[in-house]
Amino acid sequence: MTAPAPHVGRDPVLLLPVAVAAGLAVGALGLDADEPGARIVIDLALVWTLTAAALVTLERPRWQQASWLVVAAAVAVLGADLVWATSSTLWTTGFLLEQVWVALLACLVLTFPGRRAWSRLAQLAVAAAFVVALGGQALGALFDTDTRDVLSVSPDAGVAHAIDRGQELAGGAIALLVLFLVLRRLQALGGAGLRSQGPFFVATASTIVVGLVWLGAVIASDSSRPTLETLGRAVCISLPIALVGGVLWSRLRRADASDLVVELPAEAAITLRERLARALDDPTLEVVYRIGDGTYVDADGRHVAFPRTGDRALTPVKVAGDEVAVLVHDPALLDEPALVESVRAAAALVLENERLAAEVRSQLAEVRASRGRIVAAADDERRRIERDLHDGAQQRLVSLSVALGLEGARNPAATSTLARAQDEVEEAIAELRELARGIHPTLLRDEGLQAAVEALARRAPFPVALNGTLSERLPQAIELAAYYVVSEALTNVVKHAGATEATVVLAQSRDALRLTVSDDGVGGASVVADGGLAGLHDRLEALGATLAIESAAGHGTTVHAEFPCAS
C-alpha cells in the first residue's frame, strides 16, 4: 500500500526494542544519580511515544523525513539525559546535547509534513533554533562549574548563569516565531490537510504556550524550577500522540468516504465535483475531462488550460486504460493514497459518463460559436450591401438628378418631361433608401437600439407605444438581433394580427436585455411562428437568447425575447 522509504534498510519496527533498551539504560543512570522518579518516567515516556509515533507515520510516503526527525528527537532526549551519568565524557556529551531535541522538534514542526522548511522565515527559525541549542550549550560548557565538565576552561557560576538566561531568552523569541508560523499555517489548512496535520499543529501551539509560561516562570524566579521542566516535557508527549491522532483521524475519514462514494449516483442534486470534493474532503478539488481531441474541458465543456502548474496535485482517472478525467486536488491528499484510490475506483464510471456529457457541451459551445460566426459574416455582408447601395446606385441616381437639373436650366422647352424624369429619379432614390434600411439599419449602428426601435414604432401603420429606455449601447450582435425581433414582430402584427395598437417594452438589467412586443389583435400562435421570427432562430441561438410567443386566440399576441449580456 505504501512505498517503502528508500533509506530504511531494515524493518523500522526494530526501532522499538532498541528504544526500550536504550531508555531503560538511561533510566538506570537516572536512578543511580537519584534523579526524581517522575522526571525519569516522563523522559522515558516521551522517548517511547516519539518512537512509536514515528513507526506509525512512516506509513505515509510524504512523511518520511518527518518520521526520522521524530526518531532523532527521541534519540536526542536520551542523549540529553546522559548528564545523569557519573562519567565526565558522558556528562559533557549530555550537557552539549541538552537542548538539541527541542531544536529537532522545531525543525520537525517547520518542515512538517514535507522535506523543506515552509518559508524563508521558517528556515531562519530552524537555523536559529540549532544555533541557540548547540552554540549556547557549547559556550556554557566553557564556564560550567560541574566537575565532570571536560570542556571547562574557566569555571564561573555567574557567567554560566548569564549564558543560561541568554539562551532562555533567545529560545523564547524563537518559540514565539514558531508559534506565529504554526498558527498561520493552521489557518490556511483545510479538508484532508487539516485532518491529518491539524492535531499535530494544535498540539505544537499548546506545547509552545506551556513552554513560554515555563520560560517566564524560570526567568521571573531566576531559578531552574525542575518540577516545571518535568511538566513541560510531559506536555511534549502530546506531540507524538497528536501525530498519530492525525493519521488515525484520516483513516476514520476513509471509511466515511467510501460510504459517500457508494452513494454517488443517488444524490443527483449536487454535482459530481461537489460529491467528490465532499468524499475527499477537499473543497478546492477540480475535475477536468479529457475529450476526443486530447484537450481538457470542465464539466460545462469549457476548455481549460492543462496541465496546470503550481502547488496542486494531479490524479488521473482511467477507464479501460484510457484517461477520462484528471482530479486536480490538494497535495495533502497524496498522504492518503488509499482514500484517493477508493474514490477514484468508485467514481471512474460516473466520471466517464460525465466526460461524455462535457464533450457534448463542448461541441454545443463550438456549434454555437460557429453559428455566431455565420450570423456575424451575414451581417457584415448586409452592411456591405447597404453601403454599396448608398455609395453606388444611390449616388448615381443623385448624379442623374443633378444632370436633369442642369438640363432643365438650359432647356426650358423640355421642362415638363424633365420634371417627370426628376420625379421618377426621386421615387427610385426613396425606394432604394427603404431597401437599404431594411437590409441594414444605419440608424441602429449610429444611434443604437433605442433610437432604431423608436423609428420602427413611428413607421408602423398603427399606434405603437414604446416603454422603457436603454441607458447604454449593447454589443452590436445583441442590438441587431433585438432590432430584428421587434421589426419582425411588428411586421407580423401588421400582416396577421388585425390589431389596432401595439406596445414595445425594452428593459435592460445588469445581466440581460428583455423585450416584449404585444398587440391587441386576434392571437393565434401558429400564425406568428410561421412569420419572420422563425427565421431569427439561428441569430438568437448564437447569442444564447430565448424567444417565447404567447398567443391565445382572442387575447392578442405577446412576443418575449431575452438576451443575456454581461455589462
Which residues contact another protein (rule: CB under 8 A)? 387, 390-391, 394-395, 397-406, 408-409, 422, 425-426, 429-430, 433, 436, 442-443, 445-447, 451, 454-455, 458-465, 501
| 87 vs 395, beta carbon nearer another protein | 395
Shortest gap between Cβ of 426 and another protein (angstroms)? 5
Task: Measure the CA angle with vertex 473, ends 469 and 474; round to 5°.
Answer: 105
342 in Cβ contact with 254 (< 8 Å):
yes
Shorter beta-carbon distance to another protein: residue 14 or 403: 403
Nearest to another protein of 127, 494 (CB atom): 494
Q: Which residue, 114 or 463, has its beta carbon nearer to another protein?
A: 463
Dist CA 444 CA 90 (whole Å) = 96
Nearer to another protein, 256 or 426 (CB): 426
Give the shortest CB-397-to-another protein separation in angstroms.
Answer: 7
Please say whether the beta carbons of 50 and 22 come within 8 A. Answer: no
Closest separation between CB of residue 503 and another protein, Å? Answer: 10
Backbone φ/ψ region at 251: left (φ over 0), alpha (ψ -120 to 50), beta: alpha
Pairing of the two strands 512-519 and 502-508? antiparallel
Least Cβ distance, residue 491 to another protein (angstroms): 16
Which of 212, 443 has the CB closer to another protein?
A: 443
User: What is the nearest approach in angstroms of another protein to the Cβ of residue 515?
Assistant: 19
309: left (phi over 0), alpha (psi -120 to 50) or beta: beta
Least Å distance between CB 376 and another protein? 19
Strands (E), 192-241: none
Determine how β-strand 322-329 pairs with β-strand 286-290. antiparallel
Q: Which is nearer to another protein, 83 or 389 (CB)?
A: 389
- The helix or strand, by DSSP H or E, that contains position 504, with its residue range, turns out to be strand 502-508
Q: Which of 67, 19, 68 is nearest to 44 (CA)?
A: 19
Triad 308, 312, 317: Cα angle to 5°:
80
Peptide bond into 113 cis (omega under 30): yes
DSSP secondary structure letters along 483-516: HHHHHHHHHHIIIII--S-EEEEEEE-SSEEEEE
Least distance between another protein and beta carbon 387 (Å): 6
Q: Could you tell me the three cell numbers for 96?
A: 552539549
Nearest CB to another protein, comparing residues 372 and 468:
468
Q: How far is the CB of 420 from another protein (least distance, A)?
A: 13
Q: Which residues pair with 563 in a beta bridge?
A: 513
Question: H-type helices in 114-190, by residue range?
Answer: 120-130, 136-143, 157-188
